[in-house]
Amino acid sequence: MTHPSHERPVSFWTTLGWALYLACSWTWCIGMFLPALLARDFGVWGFVIFAVPNVIGAAAMGWVLSGRHSPRALLEKHQSVVRAFAIVTVVFQAYFLGVLLNWAGFLQAGSGVLLVLVAAGLLVPAANRARWLAAGVFVFSAGCAVMAWRAGSLALPTTDAPPIDLLWLAPVCAFGFALCPYLDPTFLRAAEMLHDRSRKVAFTLGFVVFFLPMILFTLAYGGDIERLIESVQRSQTLRGVIFLHIGAQLTFTALVHLRELGRMRPSQRWPWIVTGLTMAAVFFGSAALSYWPDLPAFNAAPGSPELYYRIFLSFYGLVFPAYVWLCMIPTRDGHAGLAGARGRRKLLVWCAAVGIAAPFYWMGFIMLEELYLVPGLGVVLLARLAVRQK
């Protein structure tokens, strides 16, 4: 495929369409719920440490991927893990949607609209499907925000002094949000379809202009979770509005990731085996540890939705960014990826670093002892020394 940078300049409307595509592709069950959890635990400052590295990290990808950093080359070299990223992301959306459907009235209110969205994604001509559908989803979510505002259901949390625990959580947020975008196949697709200048514009517009209001909407409806739950139990309209916004964005994210999965050619099996074993170890190990007698109140019962939501987050806070840090970023001699003897060594270092750091992340993410995140992240950062050329 010829890269667009070698063809005629990309029009403003095409660039705008890809910006909307990027914003909606990244507005999923992390951006539509994690800010509410962080605001609950840390106040508005929790939202700040989520939003700033998220917006900057995602927008920066459009500036980093230029010259020798070809999106197509990245996809081909790291396809196995990009594929794993897409699969985990789709499963995460499906899990979160299933949790929402357990809320009384949501199935009846939203299933019809979700079916229409899926049909639209399948029927719009392939060349324009993603961008047109993204524009529709964004306008739809904006309408939901206006309806919630007119109903008087939006309010920002109070601003207090930032708690000390944020100092330990902030570097992990920055690490995850700075590196995870490079494994997102929808980001790589958008970057590939744009030349350097339009890529920078699309990524900047997508995350600073379009994505930021979506997560501010999350903060406004979820800044006080107890009030939110009480409000949606009283108001069927508010319940429907929030569900339809979340459901539309989840559906779009799942569709575009599934579409990119379908475009990828078969790849080597052994990275798949390692990824599958890692996922199995995380989930089965977490299921066993969920019977830990001193779990925080939010997930005191094994199988709690928030417990497994936080387990999913570990992939984006630890497993995937650790891969980018250890295996994707080239060493000084230019080696990157899992090819050859050095690639196998990087794979072992990645697995070892994740395995050693995982208990610290468990204490930080699940037991809410955020100080443990410091040595956990330190293990991953220092593991870079083991992949350097000797």
- Tens of each residue's pLDDT in the chain, 390 residues: 445 544 557 788 899 999 999 999 999 999 998 988 888 888 889 999 999 999 999 999 999 986 656 888 888 888 889 988 998 898 888 888 877 776 645 544 445 555 555 555 454 445 457 888 899 999 999 998 998 888 777 777 766 777 888 999 999 999 999 999 999 999 999 999 998 889 999 999 999 999 999 999 988 887 666 666 666 666 667 777 888 898 889 989 988 988 888 787 665 555 455 555 655 665 565 555 555 555 565 554 445 678 888 888 999 999 999 999 999 998 887 777 777 788 888 999 999 999 999 999 988 988 888 999 999 999 999 999 988 765
Among candidates 56, 70, 116, which has minimal Cα distance to 252?
116
State the pLDDT at residue 310.
87
Among candidates 99, 129, 86, 135, which has minimal Cα distance to 248?
135
- Between CA 288 and CA 205 the distance in angstroms is 44
State the pLDDT at residue 381.
96
Residue in the structure block whose two tokens are 């939006």: 154
- Between CA 321 and CA 329 the distance in angstroms is 11
- Between CA 120 and CA 372 the distance in angstroms is 46
- Note whether 64 and 177 are within 8 A (CB): no
Helix (H) or strand (E) holding 62: helix 44-64
Token pair in block for residue 21: 């595509």
- Between CA 211 and CA 184 the distance in angstroms is 16
Residues, the chain: 390
pTM for the complete prediction? 0.85
Distance of CA 211 to the CA centre of its chain: 12
Token pair in block for residue 111: 């299933």
- Between CA 286 and CA 304 the distance in angstroms is 12
